[in-house]
Amino acid sequence: LQKCDLHRLEEGPSTTTVLTREEGLHYYKTMQTIRRMELKSDQLYKQKIIRGFCHLYDGQEACCVGLEVAINRTDHVITAYRAHGFTYARGVPVREILAELTGRKGGCVKGKGGSMHMYTKNFYGGNGIVGAQVPLGAGIALACKYFGKNEVCLTLYGDGAANQGQIFETYNMAALWKLPCVFICENNRYGMGTSVERAAASTDYYKRGDFIPGLRVDGMDVLSVREAAKFAVEYCRSGKGPILMELQTYRYHGHSMSDPGISYRTREEIQEVRSKSDPITLLKDRMVNSNLASIEELKEIDVAVRKEIEEAAQFATTDPEPSLEELGNHIYFNEPPFEVRGPNQWIRYKSVS
């Protein structure tokens, strides 16, 4: 594996690792599923079946998959609004993710969250406000420590959010209280349409914690991410406090579906990353060259994944929308009765569906 750059660490993750056939096939299928799911989301958005905000994750699959396989299901993850990959990696089926994107009641949050707000057990979602999830992640890590659970929280944010003041405030508190928090900057080189060089005086995001140790990782290699995450999580579990990871990655789509993604970077740049650093292709070549899998086997996985995505998309476009009565649920813990009032307070609206 490529050696990580280190900050305030004498030793880093191992540069060698073992990949079993079962692991390789699992990683390949998971990344391919996320890739196909995002491409289908792109298609549904262009057909105006998905509306509103939509931030796609294709190109960054090695990050969420490598992180997820390095932690336990009882550990915690919180991220920004580019959340579909993490939602799937945390165990939510594709059909529930696509149904959430199309606003249907079969979605993972009943069609009421959409692209930016998906949740499941120990996954605290996409968060729409830039950088706001970082203090929340420290709060989750504080809860882990307070209740004496040997758990950690992975707190993710992008290079665009990395310059936010609240992130440095959170570093300070996490270091003071030795919280089991892994701060992870997914550096995909552009914060919206602004390159990192134009936005940050220092692009060494792994050093931004100053007094917090950090490491910079090849975020396009799922095994590099896995080993670095194992190292970081072990550091936190041992009671040493927080650690910072910078994953160097790349998004193929624009910032969101309203951004064509080629006004501030060239098609040639995107194509070069695709041809040289694609996370799925890198793993595929590694497995084939090591005789862990044949090209035919991997093609069979591709076919099965496409079939699964098509079936999920069919569900997401035919499942009914949530009823009007559902709108008030999940606001309060005990769900008191909720009615939608019109301009005349004596009129109560009911769902026509």
**Distant-in-sequence, close-in-space partners of 137: CB < 8 Å, separation ≥ 6:** 76, 78, 124, 153, 154, 155, 156, 170, 181, 183
pLDDT in tens, 142-196: 999 999 999 999 999 999 999 999 999 999 999 999 999 999 999 999 999 999 9
Question: What residues form DSSP beta bridges with 230?
Answer: none
Q: Do 209 and 171 meet the contact criterion of CB atoms below 8 Å apart? A: yes
- d(CA 321, CA 103) in angstroms, rounded, equals 6
Return the amino acid letter for 194: T
Residue 116: CA count within 13 A, CB half-sphere: 15
Position 352 confidence tier, pLDDT thresholds 50, 70, 90: low
Position 353 confidence tier, pLDDT thresholds 50, 70, 90: low
- d(CA 245, CA 267) in angstroms, rounded, equals 29
Region of residue 249 (phi > 0: left; psi between -120 and 50: alpha; otherwise: beta):
beta
pLDDT in tens, 46-100: 999 999 999 999 999 999 999 999 999 999 999 999 999 999 999 999 999 999 9
- d(CA 311, CA 190) in angstroms, rounded, equals 34
- d(CA 122, CA 237) in angstroms, rounded, equals 17
Q: Give kind and range of the element (H or E) at residue 313.
A: helix 295-318
Is this prediction's pTM over 0.85?
A: yes
**Distant-in-sequence, close-in-space partners of 152: CB < 8 Å, separation ≥ 6:** 71, 75, 76, 141, 144, 180, 181, 182, 233, 236, 237
End-to-end CA distance of the chain: give it in Å, rounded. Answer: 55
Q: Do 182 and 232 meet the contact criterion of CB atoms below 8 Å apart? A: yes
> Phi and psi (nearest 5°) for 343?
-60, -30
Distance of CA 12 to the CA centre of its chain: 24
- d(CA 23, CA 30) in angstroms, rounded, equals 11
Position 329 confidence tier, pLDDT thresholds 50, 70, 90: confident
Distinct helix (H) and strand (E) counts, the chain: 11, 10
Domain ranges in the chain are 5-322, 324-352
Residue 275, token pair as written in the block: 């041809």
Query: Sign of torsion, CA 341 343 345 348?
Result: negative
Look-up: residue for tokens 């090209």? 295
Tell the CATH topology of 5-322. Answer: Rossmann fold (3.40.50)
Residue 289, token pair as written in the block: 């060259």
Position 327 confidence tier, pLDDT thresholds 50, 70, 90: confident
Cα angle 116, 117, 123; round to 5 = 120
Residue 24 has pLDDT above 70, yes or no: yes
Look-up: residue for tokens 């057990």? 121
Residue 16 has pLDDT above 90, yes or no: yes
